[in-house]
Amino acid sequence: MKNVNKRTILLSLLLVFCMMLNGFSQEYRTETDLLGDIKVPKDAYYGAQAARAMENFHISGQYVNDYPDFIKAWGMVKLACARANTEAGKMKPEILKPIEEACQELIAGNFLDQFKIDLYQGGAGTSTNMNVNEVLANIALEKSGQAKGNYKKISPNDHLNMSQSTNDTYPSSLKLGMLLHNDRLIKELNELKKSFRKLGHENIDIVKMGRTEFQDAVPMTVGQEFHSFAAMLEWDIANIEHASQSLMVLNMGGTAIGTGLNTPKGYDKYVIEHLRKISGYDVVNADDLIAATSCLQGFVVYSSALKTLATTLSKISNDLINLSSGPRNGLFEINLPARQPGSSIMPGKVNPVIPELMAFVSYRVMGNDVTVNIAASDGDLQLNAYEPVVGLTIFESQKLLTNTIKTFRVQCVNGITVNKDVHKRNLETTIGIVTALNPVLGHHVGDELAKEAKATGKGILELVREKKLLTEEQIKVLLSPKNMTGLDKSKYENK
């Protein structure tokens, strides 16, 4: 034991020594900002203000580079700004060229490791904006044959932030980043919708009992139920696409509070034109840049659409859980793919873990929407300083939804099978189909049949046959899928 302890101590000391040696060997450059000098790792592309933010904000362990679309959007915004400044005659063409090359690096997804500021940060996003400015300045300097930190040649403030403020570039980059991710979210939703449509077509003729308040109601088909899930998703897709239009209204050129201070003539128009070409989105500037700088309406509208989608996904997920319940002592109308053992104590138990996950994520997205609403309502006067929490919650919602919807489709929906025998048995024994017989037997006879069925445990069809109330031919016609469910297959042909 003593020898083991000695070896452990020696190894620990050796590890500490190596760490110290590595720290001593780290080379730094000194940069200066408003607060004075600060050391920055010599090989880092970020600078003084990003370094201070890294020191100040050790909060969540979630970093700006956890959302690459956001950084890509920054590259697009800064590229549009540089081109607009050049077109307006404020930036020299020889400065534009290396800045363009630097921006293209971010758009291509490079240098992500240089954005390690915590997403939970004060300052309305200034730390992130300066992180971008510093990284772009140093990339541009290297491409010009200059050393990192030689900001007299290309400056994070004077060149990369020319005619700008965090207060117009930060929300614009947030919105553009959300639009980029929204494309992937819509793609996954369309794939999930297709999966439900496929199940709908495959099971369109299988009659089942519909339920209201968990009680037998009236007949429908299994296919109609799956088609209804697809329709819900189609409504959400249309809602999200409409809501995403609110993200295309920017405040570029407004600078600090929307007045356009320090911008050259025509800059606000030039920057939007360039950003449209670079991004491929039909972005526009708001008709009142002061209002657009302090109001987060676009984020609220889009977040609300994500919340609405989450409520739909939760409803569908819990329906699938209920329909697959049992298997022996539940509804057991469908089978969900078995993905893992369901219990540490109960042998043979398999839980509906994938739809549970989908519901789990949906609850988180609903909560994120509350955060967006509160933050948007608490912004004061000419700026909402809480944009970072609005941005990170919407980014998180997009990411969680996109990833989980794919998992839900691949690991669950695509493997669903239907228990036809269960549906057949249910129809034979349920009291619910008495409603379908009302047109011929009348409501009063239906009530009497229902009461007797409950009292005796017999099925409605069994009693109808015993009492010879209908012929087999009449039963066949009345209980056909079309007559019982209003089934019109042509409604789904092009779905």
Which amino acid is residue 295, in one-letter code?
A: C
Calpha distance 67→282 (Å, rounded):
22
The residue written with tokens 């930036």 in the block is 91
Q: Helices 93-107 and 126-143, interaxial angle, to 10°?
A: 110
Mean pLDDT, the chain cut into blocks of 10 residues (495 residues total): 60 63 72 91 94 92 95 98 98 97 98 96 94 98 95 96 97 98 98 98 94 90 97 98 98 96 96 98 97 96 98 98 93 94 86 96 98 94 94 98 98 98 87 82 90 89 90 84 83 89
Instruction: Provide the b/e sequence for 341-377 (b: ≥16 CB within 10 Å).
Output: eeeeeeeeeebbbbbebbbebbeebbebbebbbebbe
Contact partners, residue 171, CB within 8 Å, separation at least 6:
125, 250, 251, 293, 296, 387
What is the pLDDT at residue 217? 86
Domain 31-162 indexed as CATH 1.10.275.10: yes
Its pTM stands at 0.90
Q: 114 to each of 60, 63, 208, how far by Cα in Å?
A: 18, 10, 57
Q: How far is CA 416 from the centre of its chain?
A: 25
DSSP 192-232: HHHHHHHHHHHTTT-EEEEEETTEEEEEEEHHHHHHHHHHH
Calpha distance 56→46 (Å, rounded):
15
Which amino acid is residue 19, in one-letter code?
A: M
Contact 383, 401 (CB under 8 A): no
Please say if 343 is a catalytic residue: yes
Residue 70, CB-side half-sphere exposure with 13 Å CA sphere = 25
3-state SS class at 144? coil
What is the pLDDT at residue 210? 92
What is the pLDDT at residue 38? 92
Calpha distance 232→219 (Å, rounded):
20
Burial status of residue 399 (CB atoms within 10 A of its CB: 0-12, 13-18, 19 or more):
middle
Q: 451 to each of 345, 429, 432, 447, 457, how far by Cα in Å?
A: 42, 14, 12, 6, 10
Spell out the domain ranges in the chain: 31-162, 168-418, 421-492
Q: Superfamily assignment of 168-418 in CATH?
A: Fumarase/aspartase (Central domain) (1.20.200.10)
What is the pLDDT at residue 1? 45
Calpha distance 447→366 (Å, rounded):
43
From the list 182, 133, 112, 119, the residue with the least C-alpha distance to 387 is 119
Q: Which residues pair with 209 in a beta bridge?
A: 219
Which amino acid is residue 105, in one-letter code?
A: E
From the list 186, 296, 311, 304, the residue with the least C-alpha distance to 241 is 186
Q: Catalytic residue among 127, 144, 317, 343, which?
A: 343
Calpha distance 69→237 (Å, rounded):
21
Q: Quick one: tokens of 317?
A: 């997920």
